[in-house]
Amino acid sequence: MKRPILIHPDPRLKKVCDPIPDLSDELRKLADDMLETMYDAPGIGLAAPQIGVTQRLIVMDCVKDDKEAPRPMVMFNPEVLQSSDEKNVYEEGCLSIPDQYAEVERPKIVRVGWMDVNGNPQEAEFDGLWATCVQHEIDHLNGKLFIDYLKPLKRQMITRKMQKLKRERARV
């Protein structure tokens, strides 16, 4: 089931999300809904707070080539364990900040730990777009958006555009 995506500014996007102590069928269903919502958008990542659930859960799939098989990933309680000194700059966007893009610098390679859908601990290294995406999504769980890396003026400009967009949508 597709879920509505919250648009910035929203207090739920600024919250530090709660850790997930135990998996349940309800949480697995939530992860499925998030993947469906993400693919439909379309986007390459989605964090639970973006659909108003302030728990530590993210989904992503950075396979962009249609000829390649999709690689959906579901991560409960994801955590960056190690970051490279080497940095990478990507033009980032966010499903909660539609049609706004800006360059953000982040570590190029990160090692991430998480719990998978079966409740097993997992660990893997991410590079390139995957590394950027996983860091962007984990930021969401800490109430941080990619625009928080931008200069205040640029951030305010984007926030005003989003306020206007929300007013327009509310009127429809």
Minimum CB–partner distance for residue 95 and Zn ion (Å):
6
Minimum CB–partner distance for residue 136 and Zn ion (Å):
6
The residue (of 13 and 115) whose beta carbon lies closer to Zn ion is: 13
**5, 35, 94, 104: residue in contact with Zn ion (rule CB under 5 A):** 94
Stretch of 72-80, 88-96, 120-128, 154-162 contacting Zn ion, by CB under 5 A: 88-96
Using rule CB under 5 A, residue 110 touches Zn ion: no
The residue (of 23 and 98) whose beta carbon lies closer to Zn ion is: 98
Minimum CB–partner distance for residue 67 and Zn ion (Å):
26
Is residue 168 among the annotated active site residues?
Answer: no
Using only C-alpha atoms, the chain has a radius of gyration, in whole angstroms, of: 16
Q: Which residues would be at the binding site for Zn ion (CB under 5 A)?
A: 94
Point out the annotated binding site.
94, 136, 140
Catalytic residues: 137
